[in-house]
Amino acid sequence: MRGRLFPVGGNWYEWRPDRPLAASVYVHVVVGDGGRLVVDGLRIDGPPTAELLRAIPVGKLEATANAQLAVVDDAVVAVKARRSRPVRPPAADPAGWETSDPAAAVARRRPEPPGRGRPDLFYRDVATVYLDYAQGSHRPAADLAERHDVPVTTAHRWIKEARRRGFLPPGRPGRAG
């Protein structure tokens, strides 16, 4: 089940799945071991029926958090759809959004030798497509490989490089996202 996370304050996010549930579901997201975002709190506004609890896929919520949120300066921030630029929600002043570009920081830390490898833009696109697949598929690397007509090992190499360059969160063995 796919869905989106919407900030409500204090690292709490409302989860709005594609198919509405009987009650509103809120998740608290923090940075876990290894730098991945994990769900460490769940709030349900409504009766916690067995049917509702079975319909809340916690693993998918964590994959969604890692696809739609990022960690910038030790703060969890929302990421604009289809872009690698995290956006902080407005504080008290609704006049504008504070933005930062982690890709620029990565580029400053690790300059690439001219003429070698693929550009950062390629790996940003790989990360975006992979995270989209990770939200709805149990085999996002295979789907990425199929989309680009390359072997799965090539897709895994691309994903590894996207992680190294900071466009994807750290991986967990056996888990997509």
pLDDT for 51-84, tens place per residue?
888 888 888 888 888 887 776 666 676 665 444 4
Q: Where are the domains of the chain?
A: 3-97, 102-164
pLDDT in tens, 141-160: 999 999 989 999 999 999 99
The long-range contacts involving 35-43, CB below 8 angstroms and separated by at least 24 positions, are: 35/71, 35/169, 35/170, 36/62, 36/66, 36/169, 36/170, 36/172, 37/62, 37/65, 37/66, 37/69, 37/71, 37/76, 37/169, 38/62, 38/65, 39/65, 41/12, 43/12
Name which of 20-34, 70-84, 89-103, 130-144 the model is least confident about. Answer: 89-103
Q: Which of the pair, 37 or 35, is modelled with greater confidence?
A: 37
Q: What is the mean pLDDT of residues 34-41?
A: 84
